[in-house]
A and B are shown apart, each in its own frame.
Chain A
Amino acid sequence: MNLEPEIFRSELSGDEYHLYHHPSGLDVLIMQMPGFTTTEALFAAKYGSVNNCFRTLDTGDFIKVPDGIAHYLEHKLFEGEECGVFERFAATGASANAFTSFDITAYTFSASSDYEEPLSILLDFVQHPFITDENVEKERGIIAQEIKMSDDSPTRALFFELLQSVYHDNPVNIDIAGTVESIQDITASLLMKCHGTFYNLNNMVLSIAGNVDDETVLRICDEKLVPSENKHLELFTAEEPDTVVKSRSVISREIGVPMFSLGFKCPPLKGRELLKTSIAADLMLKVLFGNMSDWYRNAFEQGLINSTFSTEVFSSEQGYFLLILSGEAKDPDAIYNSICDKIRSLDCSNFDSELLRTLIKGGYGSEIMKYNIVSECAEAMCFYYTQGVSCFDNLKIMSELTPEEVFETTKLLDTDRSSFCVVRK
């Protein structure tokens, strides 16, 4: 079958990848990386923990499923009727894994000598679940332990405390794995319903990078993919107020140094606009609070923060967009006041555009460095695809940003729409 790819190329780094719209309904992303030994693949469904209410032609009305079901399904797909999926991969020498995020569930493998058999297995097992009441029951204990392990992480507890403090109804405020209680309601038939709904090739993507060639990948796709009928999936999106749930919260854990996280709730965006605003806001945070800023120097030298301090833009097409400043601090209130003082004193005339220029140059280097690692290439293609943009849009947008556009994003630092969370003893 001859398919013509859409070609994405970075003029700056010379990297290139291809997007094929396979007739089965699946989009296939391929990056050939000459000289590399390994191949990394992700077969991903646009199905994450936030997709907990939906309808299709089959379901009729919207149905609400238990929290953590996408992650539970990820575990269950590794069952096989005759032997487990890991055993199938074992015979190829490849290493298989999977992960569930807020937005996607991805099944991965890494192979060195031969990627054809692992790719066949990957495409096969994800499309053909073997889910029984018995094996669903068996998994409950394993996932309960995974949840308890996560609950013991104060970093994770702080992150979800922040999300619950900021978002009223967006399901991003629910832990990806659910809770020990919520997973008790998950059944084989619900898992099959979710599989039938979201693991439709029209809602999936294959991203593969490394020692590959397009022709072989497409041949295996032709052999293994079972065309999907479009079921007209519709996701329920709750109206999310502009306000935060609570401006402040404290949780108690046995930890070494208190930890804090300050999140600013931003209006949801999509596609290129989301990417551009995210990049601009990320640069803005680095200019104001990054490790080359005056604010950072003062806070670090006064002992208000340590080197764990970081800034982050947490956003996606799923309606969440949050600017986060977090780290360890012996006196979290002092750091909160210092950040608020800085925000109050913002003025376009003293925005450090020279530092911004340096950051953009550094950002260029960081982007190029990313295309040096096979797994990062496969992940980046998949991630940007699910966000409706291309991998190389980052570089282009960054190089075109003006200081004014970056400064404009300081409007997102609205303390009336922020939550400050602390973990301490």
Chain B
Amino acid sequence: MSVELTRRECGKGMTLTKIHDDKFKTFALSVRMTVPFDDEYSPVYPLVLDILATCTRRYPEKEQFSKVLTELYSASVSTSSSRAGNYLLLTITLNCLCDEYTIGKEKVSETAARLLIDCILDPFLEDGMLSQKYMKLCKSDMLDDIDAIINNKRRYASVLAKKRIFRGEITAISPYDHREAVASADIGTVTKAYHKLLRTAYFEIAVTGGSCDEKVGNMLVDSLGALEREPIVINDYNAPSPIKDEVCRDGEECEANQSQLIIAYKSKSYNEYAAKLFISMLGATPMSKLFMNVREKMSLCYYCDAVLIDLKNTFVITSGLDAKDIALAEKAIDDQVRAMQEGDFTDEEFENAKLFLSEAYLSNYDSKYDILMWFYYQFMHGSCDTPEEKGSKIKALTREDVIREAGGYKLDTVFVLRPREGGSADES
């Protein structure tokens, strides 16, 4: 592959990763800030990030900031927040066209990088506080987002199910639990959270994609490196979820046509490679046992998927179906899990799944975001494997490895979101 990867520590609690591949016409510059989950600031950190991505001291109005980005050939600054074990990952990313593809080879990369730096380090302040106006607007947006979770029944069910699956753990905390903290946050709290984030977060800086000025990553390193910091030390991202003594069975109702069935299994041990292959064979592809049996043979549902919850030793199966078929589907799903645990799969299925996974890994090379996420995932798991290397490890697995891994999983939680009596009404 033509990818060049470099990674170096560049200060206390800060690394710089560069992934360069000339085939890309764009590059992304990002800072991922990792902080431990805490009750006081975790609800407002995503709000801080959204405010930072809205304006800067130089461009204090959202429209001005948007215009400047559009002038830079539709450059964009976006944010995301996710969790890894008991840590919160907050990322702010600049996406920009490489200079060689602009009209007349106009230099835009350095200007765009400066904008990202200003977002993080030179925001619009009023009396030392972040923008009151944009806090109010971003907060309103965030609350609307939380309220809109119910619009997507599959996501809504997943949020409700996680409360049961990970009862008593940080992973169980949902956006609904943060709603009140977001709604009541004032500009003082938000500004304090901003300063705490800069002071304590572990910074992963990344430049990924096509050619851009060599300075771009270094500008960000120099700017963030000048901060006075007490960064956290990350010991281990793993936060395995304990298996419940008794299977938790619970449910809720909502206005819908279809029920959502969510089943979680947990294990005390975890072999990453064997687990990925097991889940792929069980329910992550159209050749999987769940797809072939619960959907294709029994015609119970449109989707029946299995996904691993990273760092939690847990996998979750989700299916949308008629309420009358829930018991049938639950049994059919359990049968397929048991089939995997008993080694009831052919050599052909086993070899095809290995091929599928190793081929899918290679496709990460074709997206600058995917390849960065790939390596972030490896770093998080203490590895630096390339897609080829990981593919080789998958190919080296034996049937026994998969059977052993599958055998460790026990049923933990069954959650059902059922349609409430009485349907939707239309009026004109």
- Give residues in A with beta carbon < 8 Å to B: 12-13, 33-38, 84, 86-87, 89-97, 110-113, 138-143, 145-146, 148-149, 151-155, 157, 161, 210, 246, 248-257, 291-293, 296-297, 300-301, 303, 306-308, 328, 355, 358-359, 361-366, 368-369, 371-374
**CA of A92 to CA of B348, assembled, Å:** 12
**Do residues B25 and A90 form an inter-chain contact, with CB atoms below 8 A?**
no
User: Digit string of B160-194 for contact with A (CB within 8 Å is 1, else 0)?
Assistant: 00000000000000000000000000000000000
Interface contact B359-A254, CB-CB below 8 Å: no
Size category, B interface: 35 or more
Q: How far is the CB of A160 from chain B (nearest CB, A)?
A: 11
B226 located at the interface, meaning its Cβ lies under 8 Å from any Cβ of chain A in the complex = no
Q: A93-B358, A251-B424, A291-B66 are in contact. Are A110 and B363 (CB under 8 A)?
A: yes
Supposing A142-B299, A306-B141 touch, asked if A255 and B151 sit within 8 A by C-beta, the answer is yes
Task: Contact check, B321 vs A145: say whether CB atoms are below 8 A apart.
Answer: yes
User: In chain B, residues 63-104, which have Cβ atoms closer than 8 Å to a Cβ of chain A?
Assistant: 63, 66-67, 69-75, 95, 97, 101-103
Contacts of B151 in A (CB 8 A): 153-155, 255-256
Contact B362 A38 (CB under 8 A): yes
Q: Residue A38 contacts which of B75, B356, B366 (CB distance < 8 angstroms)?
A: B366
Contact between B299 and A138 (Cβ–Cβ < 8 Å)?
yes
A292–B26 contact, CB under 8 A?
A: no
Identity of the chain B residue whose Cβ is nearest the Cβ of A85 in the assembled complex: B286
**B285 touches A (CB below 8 Å):** yes
Q: Does A35 contact B2, Cβ atoms closer than 8 Å?
A: yes
Question: For residue B74, which residues in chain A have a CB less than 8 angstroms away from its CB?
Answer: 362-366, 369
**Smallest distance from the beta carbon of A263 to chain B beta carbons, Å?**
16
In the complex, are the beta carbons of A252 and B425 less than 8 A apart? yes
Q: Which residues of B contact A373 (CB under 8 A)?
A: 366-367
Q: Is the CB of B356 within 8 A of A95?
A: yes
Question: Could you jot down 12 A-B contacts, CB within 8 Å?
Answer: A13-B25, A35-B2, A87-B287, A145-B258, A153-B151, A252-B424, A292-B63, A296-B63, A362-B69, A364-B103, A369-B26, A371-B25
Quote the shortest CB–CB distance from B275 to chain A (angstroms): 20
The answer to whether B21 and A112 touch across the interface, beta carbons within 8 angstroms, is no
Do B141 and A36 touch across chains, with their CB atoms under 8 A apart?
no
Q: Given A250-B427, A291-B63, do A35 and B22 touch, yes or no (CB 8 Å)? A: yes
B276 CB to nearest chain A CB (Å)? 15
Question: A364 near B320 (CB under 8 angstroms)?
Answer: no
Query: CB-CB < 8 A to B291: which residues of A?
Result: 86
If A91-B352, A112-B359 touch, whether A37 touches B254 (CB-CB below 8 Å) is: no
Distance of A83 Cα from B245 Cα, bound (Å):
42
Contact B427 A251 (CB under 8 A): yes
Chain A residues with Cβ below 8 Å from B144 are: 256-257, 306, 308, 328
